[in-house]
Amino acid sequence: MGLLIEGRWHDQWYTSGKDGSFQREQAQRRHWITADGRPGPSGEGGFAAEAGRYHLYVSLACPWAHRTLILRQLKGLESLVEVSVVGWLMREHGWTFDQSQGSSGDRLDDLDFLYQRYTADTPDYTGRVTVPLLWDKQQRRIVSNESAEIIRMFNSAFDHLTGNRLDFYPHALRSRIDQLNGRIYPALNNGVYRAGFATSQQAYETAFDEVFAELDSLEALLAGQRYLAGEYLTEADVRLFTTLIRFDAVYHGHFKCNLRRIADYPNLSNWLRELYQWPGVEGTVDFSHIKNHYYASHATINPTGIVPRGPLLDFGASHDRQRLDGRGVWCRD
């Protein structure tokens, strides 16, 4: 675990805030792929959607990278955007392409370490070396290392090439989705990390309470509607899914979020099974990467690196969500 400082790799654990709270670094590369290469909401233009031009780096353990893999799958981009998978162990060199740890290898340039991709973009890069990372082979530059924005690009930029009209961020539902993301990100997606990486009792308890208050409120919401934004499955569901699918296996034990399991919430666990069984989704979930990564990589939390054998999980079991009206994914005209 470490970071780049002026282009040189340093093996260093996260620094906490004064109060022991976990501070997540803002993603630094924020360009957008657009249909015609015009600039997106941030960064520079010049990143036009083209088949085979972009390469996605992911960890199968990482919930942020997992979002991008799901959108790539559901938007039919597998043959347009190639993927390299890093190994599950993230220790002194950060993310690596060690094939003995489940990496695909770097399918582009056969690099050893992901930080070399960051320094290829910016030789004196300073910051954490995170996944997901979207790379432009043509300009040899990073397009983006922000998953929330990569999924929006995948949602629309390539549609003229794929003919896929599914819309996970439809105009009519945007304010609702933004509102959901605005509370689910701090309380849950990042909340489990704030609990797990806290270095003071107070910071841990604050995060812990927010995690379970949000789960309670989502449990109530999903009692009366099929998906988070109503009848349509949207990016808000995808973003929650990648956190909840890891919860009982990892966050409950390793991150000490142990008031309840997702299995103890009937609506959340049925919703989770429905999403897991959505065509294309199961293939993006890899519990061997997930469990090995967290338990073996975070030496400050789990010094022995022992990976628990359990729990028993069966996301393929039937669910009861058909009892609520659902219209699937929004389709653009």
Q: Which residues bind ligand GSH (CB under 6 A)?
A: 1, 27, 59, 62, 64, 94, 128-132, 145-148
From the CB of 318, what's the least distance to ligand GSH, in Å?
A: 31
From the CB of 202, what's the least distance to ligand GSH, in Å?
A: 23
From the CB of 89, what's the least distance to ligand GSH, in Å?
A: 12
CA dihedral sign, ordered 64, 65, 69, 75: positive
Per annotation, catalytic residue among 193, 251, 265, 295: 193
Name the residue nearer to ligand GSH (CB basis): 1 or 70.
1
Strand order in the sheet with 82-85: 82-85, 54-58, 133-136, 141-144
And the tokens for 264?
Answer: 């103890």
CB 180 within 8 A of CB 222: no
Radius of gyration of the chain (CA): 19
3 state SS of 267: helix
Instruction: Tell the burial category of 256 from Cβ atoms under 10 Å away from its Cβ (0-12, 13-18, 19+).
Output: middle
Name the residue nearer to ligand GSH (CB basis): 27 or 272.
27
Residue 55's closest CA among 82, 86, 95, 85? Answer: 82
- Which one-letter amino acid corresponds to residue 22? F
From the CB of 125, what's the least distance to ligand GSH, in Å?
A: 13
- Which residues, other chains included, contact 178 with Cβ-Cβ below 8 Å and sequence gap of 6+? none
From the CB of 1, what's the least distance to ligand GSH, in Å?
A: 6
Alpha-carbon distances of 33 from 15, 26, 149, rounded to whole Å: 33, 19, 10
Per annotation, catalytic residue among 54, 62, 169, 294: 62
Name the residue nearer to ligand GSH (CB basis): 5 or 220.
5
Beta bridge partners of 256: none
Name the residue nearer to ligand GSH (CB basis): 1 or 203.
1
CB 196 within 8 A of CB 255: yes
Instruction: Say how far apart CA 187 and CA 196 lie, in whole Å.
Output: 13
Beta bridge partners of 9: 4
Is 295 a residue of the active site?
no
Q: What is the DSSP string of 292-314?
A: HHHHHH-TTT-TT-PPP------
From the CB of 224, what's the least distance to ligand GSH, in Å?
A: 30
- Which one-letter amino acid corresponds to residue 62? C
Name the residue nearer to ligand GSH (CB basis): 115 or 227.
115
Name the residue nearer to ligand GSH (CB basis): 64 or 227.
64
Is 331 a residue of the active site?
no
Max Cα–Cα distance, the chain, nearest Å: 55
Tell me the catalytic residues.
Answer: 62, 193
